[in-house]
């Protein structure tokens, strides 16, 4: 699938055909990077990941809240950048 439909730089934004799963994946990757940077620059006094008995690793409740907050912001920026929202 070709994701690039048209680019209209004179209007100030790119119109790009990106499906929702691609936007979610991009937003998750960027948000994960932000969270890792925040953690490396601050002293969290709680763990950010936990491992379940079955071996699944996931964020703690506090870290998930932080991720969700930043994910929403990143998603909005991506949508604005793609010309989907103002």
How many CA within 13 A on the CB side of residue 3? Answer: 9
Whether residue 13 lies inside any domain: the answer is yes
Residue 27 resides in a domain: yes
How confident is the model at residue 4, as a pLDDT? 47
What pTM did the predictor assign?
Answer: 0.66
Q: What is the model's pLDDT at position 86?
A: 58
Degrees (nearest 5) of the Cα angle 81, 86, 2? 35
Note down the domain range covering 59.
6-81
Please tell me the total count of domains within the chain.
1
Structural domain contains residue 47: yes
Confidence band of 6 (pLDDT split at 50, 70, 90): very low
Q: What is the pLDDT of residues 10-22, one digit of tens each?
A: 444 445 556 778 8
Helix (H, G, I), strand (E, B) or coil at 51: strand
Distance CA(17)–CA(56), nearest Å, equals 34
Predicted local distance difference test score (pLDDT) of residue 28:
94
Q: Is residue 10 part of a domain?
A: yes
- Is 86 part of a structural domain of the chain? no
Flag whether 1 is in a domain.
no
Tokens (6 digits) for 74: 């990143």
Condensed to tens digits (0 to 9), the pLDDT of residues 44-85 reads 666 788 999 999 999 888 889 889 999 999 999 988 887 776
Q: At 27, which helix (H) or strand (E)?
A: helix 20-41
| Domain annotation covers residue 68 | yes
């Amino acid at each position: 699938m070709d994701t690039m439909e048209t680019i209209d730089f004179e209007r100030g934004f790119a119109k790009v055909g990106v499906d929702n799963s691609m936007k979610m994946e991009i937003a998750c990757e960027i948000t994960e990077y932000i969270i890792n940077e925040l953690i490396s620059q601050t002293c969290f006094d709680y763990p950010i990941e936990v491992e379940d008995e079955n071996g699944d690793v996931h964020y703690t409740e506090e870290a998930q809240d932080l991720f969700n907050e930043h994910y929403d912001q990143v998603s909005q920026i991506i949508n604005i950048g793609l010309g989907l929202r103002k």
